[in-house]
Amino acid sequence: MNESQPRLDDLRIERTARPEPPGRPLRWLVVGIVVAGLFAAGWWLMRPKALEVRTAIAREEANAGRDRTVLNASGYVTARRDATVSSKITGKVTEVLIEEGLHVKAGQTLARLDDTNVQASWQLAQAQRAATESGLEESRVRLREAEQELQRQTALLKTKVAAPADFDHAEAAAHAWRARLAQQQSELVVAERTIAIWQQQVDDTIIRAPFAGIVTSKNAQPGEMISPMSAGGFTRTGICTIVDMESLEIEIDVNESYINRVASDQPVEATLDAYPEWKIPCKVIAIIPTADRQKSTVKVRVGFDQLDPRILPEMSVKVAFRESGTGGAVASVRRAVIVPKSAVQAADGHDVVFVVQRGRVERRAVTVASAQDNDAVISAGVAAGEKIVTEPPAGLTDGATVEERKP
């Protein structure tokens, strides 16, 4: 019996393919969706948060056809005529007739000094003049008598009745009285001049206003000594200070780099710090032809077109130098826009603003033509209608995401 030999293939185990469990592709899809959701949620939580900012719309400058501001500056209201009134002599004040705020006229009496000694000297000079006048009248009488005697001696001498010696004596007497009369007339002139001197001394004890104005300070009281120059101690050098309110003007120190923007008779708009809403029309009346070496400034005087009682000396004032719309300087800012002054920031030596576009900010360098009140006039870098960030926060950078703060 021939039995077949075992072969290696007989030892091979036959395996059939195991069927995959149903639903495995759907499971992988769900896992993928979950992972993607977790990734999206993590990105959403970790994304940089948008900064809240306030914005404003850049608007086109409205005064294209009117005068434009070419320079802003600040200064003070000053009086062209003001004086600390003093006396010409040293003396004790006996009476002060003024108070602060009083309107005075030119020549009005402000105060009086003690004139006791001066009055005594003046009365003595008057007495001396009276004595001189009395002696002068006596000399006139004596001269008439001498002239009559001379006439008689002359007639007698012609008839050879009188001796020549008598004629010579009468002639000498007449000449002597004429000389004495001339001397007394000169003495009378001296007496009158002396009276005039003492009268001036009396007048000097009365202190009068040199011009019309308002008393702004009272510096002396009765009983105090006053002198035209500083004498130390308790001696005053002035009775009061008077300001001519009709001579008020504005004094401004303009940086010499911008003095080329200022010209005589140039229109100016002034704003007092005390009345910020009141625009006062003015004009340049003088540019002082010298510069201050320490401050690098040139003094400019600006006059008011019309004075007002609200304008007071030493008030702080801001001025805007204007230039007509037909000028060349204005043509360079025809397309200027106005933005809040708080939107302009300094960075790397340049003025910059942040412009909002599609939820992000773009930092732009701008050219500031002028600034007034709370607005800045931008001549380049921003177009009218663009949205500008006002008061940019410290962490705001170019390209940052922002969202507008709700009012």
Give me the CATH number covering residue 104.
2.40.50.100
- Looking at the fold, whether 316 and 376 belong to one and the same domain comes out as no
Q: SS3 breakdown of the chain: % helix, strand, coil, rounded to 5?
A: 30, 35, 35
The DSSP result for 195-215, as a single string, is HHHHHHHHHHTEEE-SSSEEE
For residue 157, pLDDT over 50 is answered with: yes
What is the per-residue pLDDT for 329? Answer: 39
What is the per-residue pLDDT for 342? Answer: 82
Residue 144 token pair: 């008439």
- Looking at the fold, whether 183 and 296 belong to one and the same domain comes out as no
Residue among 342, 341, 346, 354 at smallest CA distance from 382: 354
* Residue 374 is assigned to a structural domain of this protein: yes
Distance (Å, whole) CA 341 – CA 120: 73
CA dihedral (258, 263, 268, 274) positive or negative: positive
Phi and psi at 290, nearest 5°, equal -160, 155
| Span 219-228, average pLDDT | 88
- Looking at the fold, whether 135 and 158 belong to one and the same domain comes out as yes
Q: Which of 267, 292, 324 is the last residue of a domain?
A: 324
Residue among 278, 291, 240, 311 at smallest CA distance from 79: 311
What is the per-residue pLDDT for 350? Answer: 80
Distance (Å, whole) CA 59 – CA 385: 6
What is the per-residue pLDDT for 369? Answer: 76
For residue 169, pLDDT over 60 is answered with: yes
Burial-class residue 38 by CB neighbours within 10 Å (0-12, 13-18, 19+): exposed
* Residue 167 is assigned to a structural domain of this protein: yes
Distance (Å, whole) CA 150 – CA 31: 162
For residue 357, pLDDT over 90 is answered with: no
- Looking at the fold, whether 190 and 235 belong to one and the same domain comes out as no
The CATH number that applies at residue 383 is 2.40.420.20
* Residue 24 is assigned to a structural domain of this protein: no
Q: Which strand (E) or helix (H) includes residue 119?
A: helix 116-158
- Looking at the fold, whether 123 and 154 belong to one and the same domain comes out as yes
* Residue 399 is assigned to a structural domain of this protein: yes
Q: Which strand (E) or helix (H) includes residue 236?
A: none
For residue 115, pLDDT over 60 is answered with: yes
What is the per-residue pLDDT for 49? Answer: 61
- Give the DSSP letter of residue 192: H
Distance (Å, whole) CA 81 – CA 247: 6
Calculate helix-pair angle for 116-158, 164-204, nearest 10 degrees: 160
| Span 314-334, average pLDDT | 65
Contact 101, 359 (CB under 8 A): no
- Looking at the fold, whether 75 and 90 belong to one and the same domain comes out as no
A 10 A CB-CB count for 289 gives: 7
Phi and psi at 241, nearest 5°, equal -115, 130
- Looking at the fold, whether 96 and 222 belong to one and the same domain comes out as yes
Q: Which of 282, 305, 324 is the last residue of a domain?
A: 324
Contact 97, 110 (CB under 8 A): yes
* Residue 20 is assigned to a structural domain of this protein: no
Buried b (16+ CB within 10 A) or exposed e, 138-164: ebeebbeebeebbeebeeebeeeebee
- Looking at the fold, whether 356 and 399 belong to one and the same domain comes out as yes
- Looking at the fold, whether 382 and 392 belong to one and the same domain comes out as yes
Buried b (16+ CB within 10 A) or exposed e, 194-231: bbeebeebeeebebebebbbbbbebbbeeeebbbeeee
Contact 382, 390 (CB under 8 A): no
| Span 80-94, average pLDDT | 90
The DSSP result for 21-59, as a single string, is PTTHHHHHHHHHHHHHHHHHHHHHHHSPPPEEEEEEE-E
For residue 62, pLDDT over 70 is answered with: no
Count of structural domains within the chain: 4
Distance (Å, whole) CA 353 – CA 388: 7
For residue 222, pLDDT over 60 is answered with: yes
| Span 127-151, average pLDDT | 81
* Residue 317 is assigned to a structural domain of this protein: yes
Burial-class residue 303 by CB neighbours within 10 Å (0-12, 13-18, 19+): middle
What is the per-residue pLDDT for 330? Answer: 37
- Looking at the fold, whether 362 and 226 belong to one and the same domain comes out as no
What is the per-residue pLDDT for 144? Answer: 84
- Looking at the fold, whether 152 and 212 belong to one and the same domain comes out as no
Biggest CA–CA distance in the chain, Å, is 237
pLDDT tier at 327, thresholds 50, 70, 90: very low
pLDDT tier at 64, thresholds 50, 70, 90: very low
What is the per-residue pLDDT for 297? Answer: 92
Q: How far is CA 322 from the centre of its chain?
A: 18
What is the per-residue pLDDT for 5? Answer: 56
A 10 A CB-CB count for 98 gives: 19
* Residue 145 is assigned to a structural domain of this protein: yes
For residue 13, pLDDT over 80 is answered with: no
Q: Which of 273, 290, 324 is the last residue of a domain?
A: 324
Phi and psi at 349, nearest 5°, equal 80, 10
- Looking at the fold, whether 228 and 86 belong to one and the same domain comes out as yes
| Domain housing 125 | 116-201
* Residue 19 is assigned to a structural domain of this protein: no
- pLDDT for 390-407, tens place per residue? 888 877 787 777 777 755
pTM over 0.85: no
> Which segment of 29-33, 127-131, 204-208 scores lowest on mean pLDDT?
29-33
- Give the DSSP letter of residue 398: T
